Amino acid sequence: MTSLSTSKYGVFAIHDSGVPIGSKEDYTTLVILHGFTWHAGVFTRLLPLSHQFNTRIVLVNRRDYPGSKPFDHEELRPISSIDAIGADALSVLNTYMKERARELYDFLELFVQKEKIPKDGRLIVAGWSFGANWITALLANAQELSVNRIPLSAYIRWLILYDPPYHSLGYAPPETFYNPLAELSESPEEVFEKFQAYVSGYYSHGELPHGLELRNPAPQPRPTFETMLPEEIESSMYPSPAFPGRSDTLLLEAGIQHGLFRELKDAVLYRQTRTALSDDVLGAWDNVKVRYVWCDHSSWEVPWGAWSMQTELEAAKILGKPVRQIEFVRVEGANHFAHWDQPERALRAFLDDNIQRLPVTMDQLK
C-alpha cells in the first residue's frame, strides 16, 4: 500500500476523495479526524466506498502528524508545565483546546466555502478515539467561534463521537482495570507493541458493566494490528506525537488529571446557558445533533464510556436537565478498527439515518 496523498489545507493536511463520480450535488461530505498514533492513512479502506455511499470523504491529519503544521515550543509550553501552574491548570487547558477548536472551525469554514458545500445539513464531522476530543472542544467553543462568521451549524447534519475511550469523556475507570501503557517496568518498545495489539483486539463483553472483559481479547478474530502488513502500518501510523513530552501525550495526561475532558463532555451533553451572544447562534449550536458510534468488541474502555454517558443522560433527563440530542449507534461484533476491518459497516454507522444497532450477519462472522 502506498502512502496516503495529502494536501495542505490551513494548518491541517487532508486527503479529499472529491465529489463522487456522477453525483448531482446531493452528496454527503464526511470529515474524519484520527486518534492517538494512527493518522488519516488508517481510514483508506473507506475511500473505495465513497461512490457507493454518494459521499465525499475528507481525511484530516491533525497537527503534529504528517503534512500538517507541527506545534512549536511556545504553543506546547503551557501544557508542558501544567503541573506547576496549580489552580489555573484547567483554565490553561481550556484555552489550549479552544485554540484547537478554532483551528478545526477555521478549516471547516474554509472548506465549505472553497469547495461550495451545500448549506443544507450534508456535512458530517467525526472524531475517532482520542480525536473525539476535537469534536467535544468544537461544541464547547462553537457559539463563541461563530460570532460574525458563516453559520457553520447550518451545514452540519450531525457530529460523531466515534468509539471514544471513557477517559476522553472525563469518566472515571472501574475499580479494577487494565491498560498496557501503565506497565512501566517494560521498555517503551514493548509497551507500544503490546498497546497496539490491546487496542485493536476483539473482546467478548457482557451486556452490563460488571461483565467487561478487561484484559484478554478473543483468539479470533486476531487483533487488527497483527493482521496488517508492515507497509500498511507504516502508511497509517505515526507514533511521534505519543512520545513522552510530545503533544498528544501532554494533552492526554493533563486532560485526565485536571478534568479537561469532563468539562468538554459536559458541553456536549448539556445545553449551554444564555450569554451575551444572540439566541440565534446559541439555539443553532444547541440543536446540533451528536451521534455516538461505539463498537461493542472494542477494548473495555469503549463500552465503559458508552454506558457511562448513557447512564448520565438518563439521570439528567429524570432530573429535568436540558440535554442535547445524542443518538447512540452500536456496531455489533466490531472492534476499535471497524473502519479497517469492516469499512462498509463503519460508513453505514456514520451515514445511515435512524439506526441504533448494526447487528452482525453470518457473512461477517466468517
The pLDDT, as a whole number, for residue 2 is: 42
Q: pLDDT tens for residues 42-87?
A: 999 999 999 999 999 999 999 999 999 999 999 999 999 888 787 8
| Amino acid occupying residue 100 | R
3-state secondary structure of 13: strand
The pLDDT, as a whole number, for residue 362 is: 43
| Nearest in space to 156 (alpha carbons), one of 111, 198, 191 | 111
Q: Quick one: 7-174+222-365 is in which CATH superfamily?
A: Alpha/Beta hydrolase fold, catalytic domain (3.40.50.1820)
CA triple 226-230-236, angle to 5 deg: 90
CB atoms within 10 A of CB 320: 7
Q: Which residues of the chain register pLDDT less than 70?
A: 1-3, 184-186, 272-283, 361-366
The pLDDT, as a whole number, for residue 3 is: 65
The pLDDT, as a whole number, for residue 132 is: 98
* pTM > 0.85: yes or no: yes
DSSP 156-209: EEEEEEES--GGGGTPPPPSS---GGG-TTS-HHHHHHHHHHHHT------SSG
The pLDDT, as a whole number, for residue 75 is: 96
* Domain residue ranges in the chain: 7-174+222-365
Residue 288 in grid coordinates: 446540533
The pLDDT, as a whole number, for residue 273 is: 55
